[in-house]
């Protein structure tokens, strides 16, 4: 059995408690941290996962996102994982802000040297849920939803599409919607997966929808003053794919809003509500 996680910090928050934990991951071969908010209500509570974006750790959303207030009101736990392995010392992982440390794209790399440690999908889908089940009984893993921002929005969409039935709802804030046809994604996927674009498509929400993958109705918020909107995020491509495939999608465009955490904090309550509604509706 894997070693028990270690408590790094804990703070009272909206009647519940915001913690950060660390455990030794077999998937990544490194220590991995995750934020965990538990609301004041008793008993096992449904889980909303929040995947953060490029350059972030688990700290960004738990200190700037403000999701705890509505999670406490609605009785949800929040699971906020780190965005990449730390301490692996993979050659080149610190050379660029858009690949490597804080920039894993939530996939399992297949290309050396990344493949030795950058196994984030395995960590998120298999290992971290097992840690939660074994050591955090207040997290009800029979009821899970997922959301995320930017690279984390990409991760939320792709993990929901790749693992049907795992998450009862999926949403995203300013996500990378078509990474195999954006500069960030093209560079990262080449490094992490190699040159086979079929492998890229398996980690691209737009390509997955076009190939027939299904998920609960998608809910996306996007600012129209986001400097990355046209070059990197490209939600219109996902919208077109959803229309062609019959995948339900609500895409809200917010005039004047950019890519940062002021926007995340503005729309965060709606994403917690979206998750809570789905979790309530299904038991």
State the catalytic residue, choosing from 117, 154, 259, 274: 259
What are the chain's domains?
Answer: 6-281 (3.40.50.1820)
Active-site residue 104, yes or no? no
State the catalytic residue, choosing from 25, 84, 150, 182: 150
Q: What is the band of 283 on the pLDDT scale with cuts at 50, 70, 90?
A: very low
Active-site residue 231, yes or no? no
Q: Write out pLDDT tens, residues 47-100.
A: 999 999 999 999 999 999 999 999 999 999 999 999 999 999 999 999 999 999
The CA distance from 268 to 194, in Å, is: 35
Active-site residue 203, yes or no? no
Q: Write out pLDDT tens, residues 197-240.
A: 999 999 999 999 999 999 999 999 999 999 999 999 999 999 99
> What's the pTM?
0.97
pLDDT over 60 (residue 1): no
- 19, 7 Cβ separation under 8 angstroms: yes
State the catalytic residue, choosing from 25, 226, 271, 274: 226
The CA distance from 138 to 86, in Å, is: 27
């Amino acid at each position: 059995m894997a070693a028990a996680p270690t408590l790094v910090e804990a703070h009272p928050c909206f009647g519940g408690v915001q913690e950060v934990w660390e455990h030794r991951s077999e998937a990544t071969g490194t220590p991995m941290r995750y934020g965990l908010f538990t609301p004041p209500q008793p008993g096992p509570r449904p889980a909303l996962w929040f995947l953060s974006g490029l350059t972030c750790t688990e700290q960004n959303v738990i200190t700037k996102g403000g999701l705890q207030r509505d999670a406490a009101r609605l009785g949800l736990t929040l699971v906020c994982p780190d965005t990449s392995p730390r301490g692996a010392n993979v050659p080149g992982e610190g050379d660029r802000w858009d690949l490597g440390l804080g920039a894993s794209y939530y996939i399992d790399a297949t290309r050396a040297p990344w493949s030795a440690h950058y196994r984030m999908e395995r960590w998120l889908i298999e290992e971290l849920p097992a840690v939660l089940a074994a050591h955090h009984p207040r997290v009800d893993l029979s009821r899970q939803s997922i959301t995320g921002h930017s690279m984390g929005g990409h991760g939320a969409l792709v993990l929901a599409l790749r693992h049907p039935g795992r998450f009862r709802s999926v949403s995203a804030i300013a996500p990378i919607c078509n990474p195999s046809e954006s500069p960030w994604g093209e560079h990262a996927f080449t490094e992490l997966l190699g040159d086979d674009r079929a492998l890229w498509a398996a980690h691209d929400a737009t390509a997955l929808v076009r190939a027939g993958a299904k998920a609960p109705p998608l809910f996306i918020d996007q600012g129209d003053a986001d400097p990355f909107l046209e070059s990197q995020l490209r939600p219109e491509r996902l919208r077109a794919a959803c229309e062609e495939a019959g995948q339900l999608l609500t895409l809200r465009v917010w005039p004047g809003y950019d890519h940062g955490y002021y926007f995340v904090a503005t729309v965060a309550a709606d994403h917690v509500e979206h998750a809570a509604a789905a979790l309530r509706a299904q038991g």
